[in-house]
Structure 1
Amino acid sequence: MMLLRAARAATIAAGARRKPGLLPVAVAGLSSSSGAPSGGRRRKGQRRGEAKPQHQPLPAQSEVPGTKKANTRPAKDRKARPVEEAQRPPGQEIEFELVKLQPEKPKRVVKWRCATGCGACCKLDKGPEFPTPDEVFSDYPDQLQLYKSMIGPDGWCNNYDKTNRTCNIYEDRPFFCRVEPKVFDEYFGVPRSKFDREACSACVDNIKMVYGQDSAELGNFKRVIKEESKKHEESMNQVQLLDT
């Protein structure tokens, strides 16, 4: 009888105009205040007037639809796995190991040497592609004056023998005519560790400017540099073997 009255009250309340939020509270009150079941067939073993056993909430590790079942084995039975490995995308670890195992390519040894029969550096009037004498000798006015005095009408050095492609004052040539680490450091700011590469690059630029990029002079210079570099590398390897 109490249940019937409660059901009628709920029906009347559903049809009446109420403020928002009151109806859910009333229904909740009915379901929670009454200890009797809401109706229907009794479950097996249930006594008359006894409320249905309410389902208890599952533990935190309860299975959620669409997800994998949680691992319930003891921690000691499970194999330990680093966090980084678990979070790494599939295949990334293999790719990383392959890159790591690749040996580093050794840097090619470059050793400069003057190629006889060239003389491209004796073309003192270099053209607009190169720094001007005023820029190179801005802090050395006496060297600037000497450099300009050596330039002939055709742009070549007055001391250069075009027939033999040799220098007539080679032993007494000025300081700036010497391809040495000290000269490159003082005039161009090139450290000793980069002298050979910078000297080779400067010679290549001069040869291309004077004779062309497909000239025999350029091919000869590259051959000389290759031989000198290989010779220097072999001597360094012998020194390392002696040290060990």
Structure 2
Amino acid sequence: MKTKIETWKCVEGCGACCNLDPSDRPDLEDYLTPEELDHYLSLVGEKGWCINFEQETRKCLIYEQRPRFCRVQPDSFQEMYDIDPSEFNDFAIECCRQQIEGVYGGKSTEMKHYNREITQIN
């Protein structure tokens, strides 16, 4: 019998997490330091999109230098959200799905692409 395994990864061409609209994230001060919160708010541009997100290519212009709160990694999730590294994969997948649904819609091309990219059938 074949099994479906989902493994979190960032999917190129998505960018849903670059929609930083603070009204969608009312608990920012719960997991960002005051300095990070100021930095986060300084990145919010037109229609809530990060000023470093290139809409046309859907790529981050500062990817290698992006702040900690933009990094989806076990250590940053443990620090910010108190997520045990063993729970990282499932938690990150759920976060991405919620963000993609909120930005593009649950039946969007982006959601279908994300689900296809993170799924392996063994």
The TM-score, its normalising length taken from structure 2, stands at 0.90
Q: 1:126 to 1:211 in 2, by over 3 A?
A: farther
Q: 1:146 to 1:203 in 2, by over 3 A?
A: same
Q: What percent identity do the matched residue pairs reach?
A: 38
Alpha-carbon shift at residue 154 of structure 1 (Å) = 1.4
Aligned positions of 1:120-159 closer than 5 A? 120-125=16-21, 127-128=23-24, 130-137=25-32, 140-159=33-52
Partner of 1:154, secondary structure, is helix
Counting matched residue pairs gives: 120
| Kept in 1: contact 2:16–2:99 (CA 8 A) | yes
Which blocks of at least 5 consecutive residues in structure 1 are unaligned? 1-106, 235-244
Opposite residue 132 of structure 1, the aligned amino acid is D
Alpha-carbon shift at residue 153 of structure 1 (Å) = 3.2
How far apart in 1 are the matches of 2:4 and 2:26?
29
How far apart in 1 are the matches of 2:17 and 2:48?
11
- 1:114 alignment counterpart: 10
Alpha-carbon shift at residue 109 of structure 1 (Å) = 4.1
Aligned positions of 1:196-215 closer than 5 A? 196-215=89-108
How far apart in 2 are the matches of 1:120 and 1:225?
16
The one-character-per-residue Cα deviations of 1:112-159 (angstroms, maximum 9, x if unpaired) are: 11111000000011534x44322332xx11111111111113111000
Structure with greater proportional strand content: 2
Which structure has more relative contact order (CA 8 Å, sep 6+)? It is 2
Structure with greater proportional helix content: 2
Opposite residue 80 of structure 2, the aligned amino acid is Y
- 2:62 alignment counterpart: 169
Aligned positions of 1:221-240 closer than 5 A? 221-227=114-120, 230=121
Partner of 1:218, secondary structure, is helix
What is the RMSD computed on CA atoms of the aligned residues?
1.8
- 1:189 alignment counterpart: 82
The TM-score, its normalising length taken from structure 1, stands at 0.46
Partner of 2:48, secondary structure, is coil
Alpha-carbon shift at residue 181 of structure 1 (Å) = 0.2
Opposite residue 156 of structure 1, the aligned amino acid is W
Partner of 1:135, secondary structure, is helix
How far apart in 1 are the matches of 2:114 and 2:46?
27
Compare CA radii of gyration and give the structure with the larger one.
Answer: 1
Which blocks of at least 5 consecutive residues in structure 2 are unaligned? none
